[in-house]
Structure 1
Amino acid sequence: MRKRDLESLSFEDFDDKYVRHAFISKVFAILSAQLVLTLGVVSIFIFVDAVQNFIIERPWLIWVAFGCVFITMIPIACCEGVRRSYPINFILLILLTLAESVLVGCVAINYSPDTVLYAVGITTLVVLVLTIFALQTAIDFTACWAILLVALIILLIIGIVAMFFPSRTLLIVYCSLGILVFSFYLIYDIQLMIGGNHTYAISPEDYIFAALSIYIDIINLFLYILNLLGILEN
């Protein structure tokens, strides 16, 4: 079989064994680079006192990072032409990953280094287990997108309530539900990527979007696990 550039392939070609494997490898390679970059930035934030003091003295930086994440995510998520156009798609993804890394670092400095490391270890184990499960299970989670959407809305409502009526019990429930919801989202996005016999599959041309989706799931998992550990410590 002649090897073809992934960018030139149509969605119908996704069932081809070579295309599917090449697509999955490309997504995991991009995802790995994103996670390494984020881990590096977070490590600097929690272990370098000068960086911590700089962030603490400038709390508005977290909102700048959040704004950058939002601005760069919109074209990748909503504009098919942009996320499939090289090199603009990679530039946007790099900028988004840097902004998200800074955002996570700003959150992480509020916890002890040990708590952050525990959260990293637990997240890594959870992601590995869920990835293996998503690749091996016969259950089709891609058909459950409506249930996941409802779960996300419920999580958002609980989060808003927790902001106005904070309590330790409610925050534990909120973080636990967040971990559960994004665990299912991780399985959902992985199955969208692998395609095969699942109800829905993502186009191999959208490798940037696939990597971003899984990356966001992992980051959210980490943040909820970190928050839960922080609550349990107090």
Structure 2
Amino acid sequence: MDCACLHVWIHRCSISNVCACPHRPLNYFLLGIWTVLQAITIGSIVTFYDVEVVIQAFLLTSVVVVGLFFYTLQSKRDFQKHYAAIFTISIIFLAATVIQVILMSSMFNFLMSMFGAILFSVYLVFDIDMIMHHYSEEDYIIACISIYMDVMGLFLRILQILNEINRN
């Protein structure tokens, strides 16, 4: 299965999961398919990196996720009021990603990975706050997908950062 086809199926399952949230057992089935497709995607990406770098990225991601989780738990801030800023920064990140593809600069790639790691950390705090204060019990599929995407995005950015550091 080529990468573009797999990418399309992952997004179809994500959208289907959101639409099928209240319909059991369909939502479990779609979440299972989505999880398998994500595992194939992340597994194939990780094969391009050294084992030591992958382990370092896993450990660093784990520490960051646990730290951000406890920060969000004890914080009295309402992170939802920053939604517009997060959305704007995401659009800037998307535009910068297009520029990154054109420039093909290793320094710009490193900076984008740093920016992406920070952005996914913000997403994680935002989504944990959503789970704590705004999602209902029926929104567990959306919550699961949101947290998973944040953690995987953070992991991949940390993996890129560590790979770039180890190359130099």
Give the TM-score, by structure 2 length: 0.95
- Determine if the alignment matches structure 1 residue 224 to structure 2 residue 162: no
Query: CA offset at residue 186 of structure 1?
Result: 0.4
The root-mean-square deviation of aligned C-alpha atoms, in Å, is 1.1
1:71 to 2, 5, 12: 12
Which residue of structure 1 lines up, in the alignment, with residue 90 of structure 2?
Answer: 152
- Determine if the alignment matches structure 1 residue 182 to structure 2 residue 120: yes
Question: Structure 1: where are the runs of 5+ without partners?
Answer: 1-59, 196-200
Which residue of structure 1 lines up, in the alignment, with residue 81 of structure 2?
Answer: 143
Query: CA offset at residue 229 of structure 1?
Result: 1.1
The structure whose Rg is larger is 1
2:61 to 123, 127, 130: 123
Which residue of structure 1 lines up, in the alignment, with residue 148 of structure 2?
Answer: 215
Alpha-carbon separation, structure 1, partners of 2:67 and 2:5:
34
Identity %: 28
- Secondary structure of the residue aligned to 2:62 is helix
Give the TM-score, by structure 1 length: 0.69
Query: CA offset at residue 154 of structure 1?
Result: 1.0
- Secondary structure of the residue aligned to 2:118 is helix
Alpha-carbon separation, structure 2, partners of 1:64 and 1:134:
36
Poorly superposed stretches of 4+, deviation over 6 Å? none
Match of 2:12, as an amino acid?
I
1:202 to 135, 146, 149: 135
- Residues 141-190 of structure 1: CA deviation (Å, up to 9, x unaligned): 12211111111111111111111101121111100110111101100110
Question: Structure 2: where are the runs of 5+ without partners?
Answer: none
- Residues 5-62 of structure 1: CA deviation (Å, up to 9, x unaligned): xxxxxxxxxxxxxxxxxxxxxxxxxxxxxxxxxxxxxxxxxxxxxxxxxxxxxxx533
1:179–1:225 Cα contact (<8 Å) kept: yes
